[in-house]
Structure formats: structure tokens, C-alpha cells
Amino acid sequence: MYMFKYICKRISLMLVTFTIIFITCFILVKLLPVDVSSVGIGEDADKIIAQMVSRGYMKYDSGSGKYINTPILEQLGKYLKRMIFEGDFGIGFSMPEYRGRAVWSVFIEKLPPTILINVYSSLLAVPIGIVLGIFAALKKNKWQDHLISTLVMVFISVPAFVYASLVLYLLCFKLSALPLSVMSLPDIVKAYPEKGYLYVPGEFNWSLYFNKKMFLSMLPAVFSMSFGSIAGYARYTRAELTEVLTSEFMLLARTKGLTKAQATVHHALRNAMVPIFPSIIGEFVSVLSGSLIIEKIFQIPGVGGLYLAAINSTDYDFFMMLSGFYLLVGLLAGLVVDLSYGVIDPRIRMGAK
């Protein structure tokens, strides 16, 4: 029962934190002037104002004869009401390609590539990283261990955009083995015209992402993302496993007649996984947020690119929604990691005094 209570407590604490930050963000964003001048050529500033008025962000002030901002708390109330009861996160207004479109539908459309690339890279990185780590731990202080540790150090330190450039230059350009950028939905429809009917704007469009061309075009990004994670997992596994291998129960296991392999797999590895597994779970939660840099380099039509575009063109509704999303993912990842310790290792009693 205490476990349930503890989880409830943690979730409610997380929600409080989320609400405070989200509302602070909203207020800080709304303190900024609405930049009507950012409207493109041939666009009507009045339309934007009409849109703002219809959403309750602006109102006509008969005194000065101008449109003025409504009080921020009133805006906040309307925003939260729409968000919670109608699932309406606002409408884009300063990015030309998303002007007038519902923020949520654009977001949903951009989600699959971001998730897929991260899932692929995790699927690649986790097994390789853990195997390398185990190998290094078993060969501790031999040349194999030194080689792996050196490589791990190099791969952890070098930033992802350097790998990305290397992958692009060597694999995609010099060898022409892989495409230069990730395909967008219209590209896929062009490549597979028979699947064209599946494409619905503003929807998830999952089915369009599982084909050979899409997969190949995602590979460079997947490779560039996984180098760092492989090194990270390898280092972590090696550190945990070497510690467990020297503990006394391992000696006991060997004394009672287990072979080294049996003792390692059944006793050492299980214990070493206790801190590693939660970090994998945390990684899987945070795959949603992706990597802004990788998305930029490979022109992935994902959430990261959308966020960058929203920031650079000061589209507040997009910015608010995506910020909330990133914030939630970050908080959730932390929470899941904490809670999973208790699930994986029954000896850890969460929240017990």
C-alpha cells in the first residue's frame, strides 16, 4: 500500500511542478508583444487580429479605438479551459506553412519520425552497448578492456553533430551508400503512389513510415545518434558489472560450484542490471523529445524542427504547446526512472522510512 501512496505522491508532486512552470511560461510569453509585423507579405494583419480576438487574446478598446491585449490571467483562464476541456492547444499564426492550422494536429503529424529515429537508435545502442560493457568488465585490465574504454571515452566526448557530419560526409556523400536526408511524408507518397490514400494530413500516419526507403533514409540519423548512447551504455555497464563481480556473493557462487559463466549470468548480471535498466526505461521515455541537432542536420520533419521553427518565428501557441510537451517528457522520464528501481529490485522499498 505504501508503494501506491508513494506513486500517488510523486505524481501529484510532478503535476504541481509542471503546473507552476507551465503557468509561469505562459505568463512570460504573454508579457511579450504580439508581433503583427512578422506576418508575411500579402498577409492581412487584420486577419491575425481577428484570430486573436476570436480566441480571447485581444479585445477592442473603445476608448483608444485600438485592439489591446486582454488581461493575462483572463487569457490564461481561456487557454487552460480550451486546453483541458476541448483539447485545443491553439492555432499557429506566424509560420507560413502552419498558419491557421491547429497546433495539436501539426504536432501529431510531426511525432512519428522523431519517435521512430529515437527508437531505432535505442534498439541499436542498448544491446551493443551492454554487450561491449560486459565484455570489457570480464576482460578487466586486459588489452580488450583498455581498447573498449578508450573508444568509449572518445565516443562519449565527441559531440553528436561531429558524428553526424562524418556520417553524412563519408557514408552518404563519398560512398553514396545512404540518402542525404530523411524523407518527408509527401516524398513517401511519391515513392509509393499506391500508398497515397493512406496519407491524411493532421493524423499520425504510422503506416507510411514502415517501408524500406523510409528506413534507409533514417539510417544516417540513427547511426549518428547511437554512437554516443552505445558508449554511454558500455561505460555504465562496465562500471556496474566490475563492482558486482568483486562482491562476496560472487565468491560464494563460485565456491558452491557454479562456473564463471553461470555465476556471471545468473548473479552478477542481474544485480548489475538494477541501475542500468531504469536508465534504459528513462531513455525510452525521453525518446519522444528527440535531438534538436540531429533533426536539424538530417532535415528530419519531426518535433524538434517544429520547435526550432516556432522559436525562431516567435509562434507563441506552438512554443507553449511544445515547451509543455518537452517539460512533461522530462519530468515523466525522471519519475519513471525513480519508480522503476522499486519494480526491478524488490529490495528497494520506495518511499519507505
Partner 1 sequence: MRAEEHQISSEKFVLHSKGGQLHDEKLETKPVSYFRDAMHRFARNKASIAAAVIIGILFLFAILGPVLTPYKVSDEDINYAYVLPRNELFYRMGIRFWDGGRRMGVTESSYSLYRGIEKETGRTVIMTEPEVRTEEYMGKPTSYYDFRLDTYNAVGVKFVLLRYEEYVALQQYQDENNIQVIFPITDPALRPEAEQDKTNANIWYRTKLGSGRKTTVVYDENGDFIPIYLADNGTDRYTSRMYWEGDEKLYSYAEQKDGNMWNVRVDYREYYRYIHYRAGDGIEYPSFLLGTNNAGKDLFTCLASGARFSFLLAIIVASVNLFVGAVYGAIEGYYGGKIDLMMERFVDILASIPFMIVITLLKYHFDVSHVLVLFIAFFLTGWTGMAARTRMQFYRFKNQEYVLVARTLGARDSRIMFKHIFPNAIGTLITGSVLVIPSVIFSETSLSYLGIINLNTGSLTSVGTLLATGQNFLFTYPHMILFPSIFISLLMLSFNLFGNGLRDAFNPSLRGTEE
Residues near partner 1 (CB under 8 A) = 17, 20-21, 25, 28-29, 31-32, 153-154, 156-159, 161-162, 165, 168-169, 173, 292-293, 296-297, 307-308, 311-312, 314, 319, 323, 326-327, 330-331, 334
CA gap 340, 333 in Å, rounded: 10
Provide the minimum distance between the beta carbon of 20 and partner 1 in the complex, in angstroms, as a whole number. Answer: 6
Provide the minimum distance between the beta carbon of 29 and partner 1 in the complex, in angstroms, as a whole number. Answer: 7
Nine-digit cell string for 267: 548473479
Closer residue to partner 1, CB minimum distance, 19 or 207: 19
Closer residue to partner 1, CB minimum distance, 1 or 31: 31
Strand ranges inside 186-227, DSSP E: none
Provide the minimum distance between the beta carbon of 188 and partner 1 in the complex, in angstroms, as a whole number. Answer: 25
Provide the minimum distance between the beta carbon of 158 and partner 1 in the complex, in angstroms, as a whole number. Answer: 4
Residue 345, classed as helix, strand or coil, is coil
CA gap 149, 133 in Å, rounded: 9
Provide the minimum distance between the beta carbon of 306 and partner 1 in the complex, in angstroms, as a whole number. Answer: 13
Provide the minimum distance between the beta carbon of 233 and partner 1 in the complex, in angstroms, as a whole number. Answer: 17
Q: Which of 328, 310, 316 is nearest to 55 (CA)?
A: 316
Nine-digit cell string for 32: 511579450
Closer residue to partner 1, CB minimum distance, 279 or 314: 314
Query: Taking a C-beta distance cutoff of 8 angstroms, is the pair 137, 245 a contact?
Result: yes
Closer residue to partner 1, CB minimum distance, 30 or 267: 30
Largest CA distance in the chain: 91
Closer residue to partner 1, CB minimum distance, 199 or 330: 330
Closer residue to partner 1, CB minimum distance, 264 or 286: 286
Radius of gyration of the chain (CA): 25
CA gap 222, 297 in Å, rounded: 12
**148 alpha carbon, distance to own chain's centre:** 28
Query: Taking a C-beta distance cutoff of 8 angstroms, is the pair 102, 91 a contact?
Result: yes
